[in-house]
A and B are shown apart, each in its own frame.
Chain A
Amino acid sequence: MASGGISRTKLGEGASHESFLRHRNFRWLKIALTVCLVAILAYAMIDVQPRPNGGSAYGYLLGTIGALLILWLSLLGLRKRAMTSGSWSLKGWTSAHVYLGLSLVVIATLHTGFQLGWNIHTLAYALMMLVIASGVYGIIVYAVLPTQLSDSRAEMTRPQMVEAVAKFDTQLQTAAQPLSHDDAALVRDAFGEDPFRAGLIRRLSGRDARSSTEAALQAMRRRLAVTTGPEAAALDGVVTLLERKSAALERIRRHLRIRALLEVWLYMHVPLTFALIAALAAHIISVFFYW
């Protein structure tokens, strides 16, 4: 079949449809496993006296590899933001970042020679393990949550979500006309509630205990239970609208919660990385200072 005569831009690596974990048929996983295997074998075969430690030649080798790896891994943040030309793919970088980052567990642990204590060296090691742990959380949520994120959005964009909620406010404005002054004020208090303005904790919870819509809904339900006649009909309409608005807000909060879960680990991962680099610098300087 002819192609229609239109040639396509060459995308090179990274364009094929596979996730960062499977990138190039697990290339970086294979490389990382090889590195770990070699490191473990070498650790087992080199007989360091009196016992394996970071000060031996092999220890220095592992330490140098580890330190350089940490610096290189931290450059991902720069790579992501510097949109230069060239045939690199961020997916490839992420893939390498994940697998080489995990290989640090082996490399750095072997570098310690299992000598841990309450000192700057172990602090650097502990910070590194925390960074890696937060990264592992990141890998898990990146693998699990995107599907839910997509579902929770229901093809809506952020402005559309805001608009959908605002539409309920317009309807409520009309529906609340027949209500008593106090009731109407309560309903109006709920206008303009913006779930996007919630802080991280509230986003993570996916709930809002202080939601003015929820408060208005509860109050109107109570009023409805003790009201009869035409006012009850009006209240009924308001309650229905508030329920729907509340459900819409709920959906947005669910979406924001998933987004927050996808982002929250970076608030650990990135600052801890800076702390790690500082501790690492202290570790290296002190080692050479006391040499």
Chain B
Amino acid sequence: MTTSFRIAIVGSGPAGLSAAARAAQLGLSHVLLEKTDHLSDTIYKYQKGKHVMATPAQLVLRSDMSFEAGKREMVLGTWDQGADALKVNVTRNAEVTAISGAKGDFTLTLKNGETISAENVILAIGTQGNPNLMPCEGAALPHVQYQLDDPGEYVDEHITVIGAGDAGIENALGLAADPEQGNIVTIVNRTADFARAKSANVKLLEEARANGRMNVMPETTPALVEQGWLTLDTRDGQQRIRCDRIIARMGSAAPRAFVEGCGIEFSSPDREAFPRLSPQFESSAPGIYVIGALAGYPLIKHCMNQGHDVVEFINGNAALKPADEPILEAKFKGLPDRRSVDEWLEFLRANVEIFHELSPLQMREFMLDSEVAFYRAGSSIFERNEPGDSLFAIASGSVLVQISPTDPSITVPIGTGSIFGEVGLISGRPRGATIRTAADSILVEVPRMAALKLMATVPAAKRAILRISIERQLLQVFGSGLTSADLVEVIETAEVKNVKAGESIITEGEEGRDIFVIRQGSMVVEKKVGGHPLFLSYVPAGSYVGEMALIDGGPRTATVRAAIKSEVIRIDGDAFARLLAAKPDLLAKAKRDMAGRQQVNDFIEAKKEGFGGAVDMYSSVASFLVDNGIGEATDVLIIDEKLCVGCDNCERACADSHEGLSRLDREAGRTYAHLHVPTSCRHCEHPHCMADCPPNAIHRGPDGEVFIDDTCIGCGNCQRNCPYGVIRMEKVPPPKPSLLNWLFTGRGPGPGEPSRSWTNDRVSPETPKLAVKCDMCSGIEGGPACVRACPTGAAIRVAPEELLNVARLEREL
């Protein structure tokens, strides 16, 4: 039996339902085909009682179905009623297995063999049916599930949720909500921040973590699933945890085979790519329209608006503008040339490399979060050392980067289509250079969170940003007058690799010619002497290793392994060899760098026989320091306990140099061979404390210090995130009577941190506690007070690459 309709809508989620409602309202002949026996299966499968959010807030809803934030049951009830009231023609239990034909005469084949013919098809099937699978061994075990219906079903289980997107966070919160259930819930996230999730969910997650209801593991990925256990790769190495159930919520991808079977092309071969669409949602197969999550829109409001709009378009309403049009119009108002919103969006998409793969719809959403502005030639975009972490894209014109802090005339141009400010994506460091426009320019400013979201959702944009940042990093590391043109081949072969703590990238004695540039984290170089690994040196981010085998030939002379979880750029040795051959300056630099390392090698070889306790000692001290976080430190306080008399003057000086609170605990911390690493900030390369600071109050200063500014709200996230326990939450004491006053009259608590009771007597109980940590005495003449105030010279501050170098051994032997 065949029935014919003007519009067939596949999928009855928010998008499909809204489209059907519009068709019903307009009196168009339509059919809404739903695979299951109920409407809106994705929302139906939300966990019971889940609060459904209505974001983005600034977007107006334009649909014949009503929708507002509320409980899952309420939302579904409203839609069921709405569908009835509008007399939407729904066919349930109708799974479409194939679509054939062309515009005006499509044939939809259902699973039960029936066919339906329609002039137009709207595909609104979402992506939920095709979840991303666990990328590790054991993913097929029965206790791994990709969905959670009712969190109340599970009691007394160790449950791990993989993926901290909205779905993952909501599942985890649901599982941990009722302490009576006795579930021990862990949520694992690949990155340090939660860019994919709605901010309200992130806030709830932070709360749950603060109350100890949930164990949150950022920068962690699953490594192995076993019955009852889960092995994770964490920032600090592998960890095996109890785990009775895994809820994997790592997003989903379009059911590509089916969609492509309908003749629809995708924007790229990536698993997570979306179909290529016109601004009217029409796919590359004319007459088939794609809306909703399958079009790249996971949010309900977007979906419903698209459902409404697409039916209008099919009905011939070409003048209809999307609901967000006024917002975007306002954004583009300040630009020269009169263009429509669609023209501007296309202009930006076509001109900026990282936007190339975005659909017009994604461009729209993206621009809602971003700003675009016109700058006259010579205007300053930002100044060196200014705080700021947004990413800029050049849609037209070009800019000049002033690379020298002293001479503004030394500049490097960045042209149309490229980006700048990308360092802000990685760290909260202030701007590294002043940037001015070289010509009249149109620039898009993307806030950090929007940029992270872009990278997380559009793989092509991520690759483009990665490629540009790799290129800049290589230029910086190798210098020697290289230009980006020289690096084309090298970058083509380059790949970014994540290295787990302790994993080797180069193994002594093996063959290999590849070069590694350390992008994040740090490495230690070791050499086997008499069967024991001897610590040779420490290599921080921004350095390269592996040139020795390439230049001199022969096997690797030492092992290089990650001190902490790191990221390296692997460059093909042959490509790099060709670059070296073409660039004598680079070769000379590489040889200079190599000479230093060769010297260390020779030194070890020469002294090998005579090495006794001293070398073992040095090597074990170095390992101890790396274990204590020196591997990711940039500047660390160390106390030589052969000199320390325990007077605690360092702590007193610290308190007196700041607001009366000591930022270091001398006694606490580990000691090895009389080297003591007190509890004090290491100013990590990628500070864990910065990861989720709600007011974004933690920055890196010009001297490399990581500091908290006075916008701190006292939430305590940084304290929890710091793996070294160096951040205190304290009430700031009032100013003390002066030193002479104390000396002669005994008034006040004297030098150093006042006792807690002294402070509590003087500040109101409502005074909030604020986060306090070392700022390396930034802005205080003379530098760190702890070092200046040490009477015996026991307290020293060191950069790890200085401390962890076998060359010291030569001096000290």
Q: Does A274 contact B (CB under 8 A)?
A: no
Q: Does A196 contact B (CB under 8 A)?
A: no
Contact between chains at A14 and B788 (CB < 8 Å): yes
With a cutoff of 8 Å between Cβ atoms, the chain A residues found around residue B792 in the complex are 19-20, 91, 94, 142, 146
CA distance A146 to B593 in the complex (A): 40
Q: Does A147 contact B (CB under 8 A)?
A: yes
CA distance A45 to B781 in the complex (A): 47
Task: Tell which of B653, B668, B685, B776 touches A9, judged by Cβ atoms closer than 8 Å.
Answer: B776
Closest 7 CB pairs of A and B: A150-B641, A6-B704, A83-B656, A157-B667, A4-B540, A4-B542, A85-B781
Contact between chains at B667 and A17 (CB < 8 Å): no
With a cutoff of 8 Å between Cβ atoms, the chain B residues found around residue A4 in the complex are 540-543, 634, 685, 801
Contact between chains at A3 and B782 (CB < 8 Å): no
> Which residue of A has the minimal Cβ distance to B676?
A150
A14-B788, A88-B782, A150-B676 given as contacts; is B540 within 8 A of A3 (CB)? yes
From 624 to 668 in chain B, residues with beta carbon under 8 angstroms from any chain A beta carbon are: 634-635, 640-646, 649, 652-653, 656-657, 665, 667-668
Q: Considering residues A4, A9, A89, A93, which has the most beta carbons from chain B within 10 angstroms of its beta carbon?
A: A9
Q: Chain B 700-713, CB within 8 Å of chain A: the 1/0 string? A: 00111100000000
Q: Does B751 contact A (CB under 8 A)?
A: yes
Contact between chains at B787 and A11 (CB < 8 Å): yes
A149-B645, A149-B646 given as contacts; is B670 within 8 A of A155 (CB)? yes
With a cutoff of 8 Å between Cβ atoms, the chain A residues found around residue B777 in the complex are 9
Q: Does A230 contact B (CB under 8 A)?
A: no
Number of interface residues of A (CB under 8 A): 48
Contact between chains at B634 and A6 (CB < 8 Å): yes
Q: How many whole Å from A127's CB to the nearest CB in chain B?
A: 22
Q: Does A225 contact B (CB under 8 A)?
A: no
CA distance A3 to B382 in the complex (A): 25
From 1 to 57 in chain A, residues with beta carbon under 8 angstroms from any chain B beta carbon are: 1-12, 14-20, 22-23
Task: Tell which of B543, B640, B674, B788 touches A2, judged by Cβ atoms closer than 8 Å.
Answer: B543
With a cutoff of 8 Å between Cβ atoms, the chain A residues found around residue B703 in the complex are 7-9
Contact between chains at A158 and B667 (CB < 8 Å): yes
> Which residue of B has the minimal Cβ distance to A77?
B743
Q: How many whole Å from A77's CB to the nearest CB in chain B?
A: 9
> Which residue of A has the minimal Cβ distance to B478?
A2
A2-B477, A91-B793 given as contacts; is B704 within 8 A of A11 (CB)? no
Task: Tell which of A1, A15, A83, A156 touches B653, judged by Cβ atoms closer than 8 Å.
Answer: A83
Contact between chains at A80 and B791 (CB < 8 Å): yes
Number of interface residues of B (CB under 8 A): 63
> Which residue of A has the minimal Cβ distance to B683?
A6
Q: Does B539 contact A (CB under 8 A)?
A: yes
Q: How many whole Å from A45's CB to the nearest CB in chain B?
A: 38
CA distance A3 to B477 in the complex (A): 10
Q: Considering residues B432, B642, B657, which has the most beta carbons from chain A within 10 angstroms of its beta carbon?
A: B642
Q: Does B316 contact A (CB under 8 A)?
A: no
Contact between chains at B665 and A157 (CB < 8 Å): yes
CA distance A88 to B784 in the complex (A): 11
Q: Does B796 contact A (CB under 8 A)?
A: yes
Q: Does B476 contact A (CB under 8 A)?
A: yes
Contact between chains at A85 and B780 (CB < 8 Å): yes
> Which residue of A has the minimal Cβ distance to B669?
A155
> Which residue of A has the minimal Cβ distance to B638?
A17
With a cutoff of 8 Å between Cβ atoms, the chain A residues found around residue B419 in the complex are none
User: Given contacts A2-B476, A9-B783, A12-B782, could you give 20 more A-B pairs where the C-beta distance is less than 8 Å?
Assistant: A1-B596, A3-B801, A6-B634, A6-B704, A8-B703, A12-B783, A15-B783, A78-B743, A81-B750, A86-B782, A90-B789, A93-B791, A142-B645, A146-B642, A146-B644, A146-B646, A147-B641, A150-B644, A150-B674, A155-B670
With a cutoff of 8 Å between Cβ atoms, the chain B residues found around residue A156 in the complex are 667
> Which residue of B has the minimal Cβ distance to A154?
B671
With a cutoff of 8 Å between Cβ atoms, the chain A residues found around residue B476 in the complex are 2, 5
Task: Tell which of B646, B685, B780, B793 touches A259, judged by Cβ atoms closer than 8 Å.
Answer: B646
Task: Tell which of B477, B794, B797 touches A15, judged by Cβ atoms closer than 8 Å.
Answer: B797
With a cutoff of 8 Å between Cβ atoms, the chain B residues found around residue A9 in the complex are 635, 703-705, 776-778, 783-784, 797
With a cutoff of 8 Å between Cβ atoms, the chain B residues found around residue A89 in the complex are 787-788, 790
Q: Does A262 contact B (CB under 8 A)?
A: yes
CA distance A249 to B612 in the complex (A): 37
A81-B751, A90-B790 given as contacts; is B783 within 8 A of A10 (CB)? yes
From 211 to 263 in chain A, residues with beta carbon under 8 angstroms from any chain B beta carbon are: 259, 262
Q: Chain B 667-693, CB within 8 Å of chain A: the 1/0 string? A: 111110010100000000100000000
Q: How many whole Å from A30's CB to the nearest CB in chain B?
A: 18
